Amino acid sequence: MYRIAVIGDYDSIYGFAALGLDTFPVTAHEEAAELLHRLAAEGYGIIYITEAWMAELKQEAAKYQDQVIPAIIQIPGIAGNTGAGVAGVKKSVEVAVGSDILFGDD
């Protein structure tokens, strides 16, 4: 069975520990990048990352974009939803169905 990790600032992720997820608060880019690669190598199946940290780790996360595992999923932080995670989901769905799902020019 795969484990699930959550990466982000402490205030945004500490509640996920109550759900049994492994939480990893980070404060520096280098620390977060190293952690992402370590968790992927250790076989985590899903890695949730706050949108703010995903913006910082785009290049590092791109390495795993075409891989099934780990699935790297953006989540809102304590400051709220930036919409970055939703855009990624919309694009993934559009690729799967072969059409713009909102019929817009986005």
What are the residue ranges spanned by the domains of the chain?
3-97
Tokens of 89: 């989901």
pTM above 0.85, yes or no: no
Match domain 3-97 to its CATH number in 3.40.50.10580, 3.30.70.3270, 1.10.10.10, 3.40.1710.10. Answer: 3.40.50.10580
pLDDT tens, the chain, 106 aa long = 889 999 999 999 999 999 999 999 999 999 999 999 999 999 999 999 999 999 999 999 999 888 888 999 999 888 766 666 555 555 656 665 666 656 655 5
φ and ψ at residue 46, rounded to 5 degrees: -135, 135
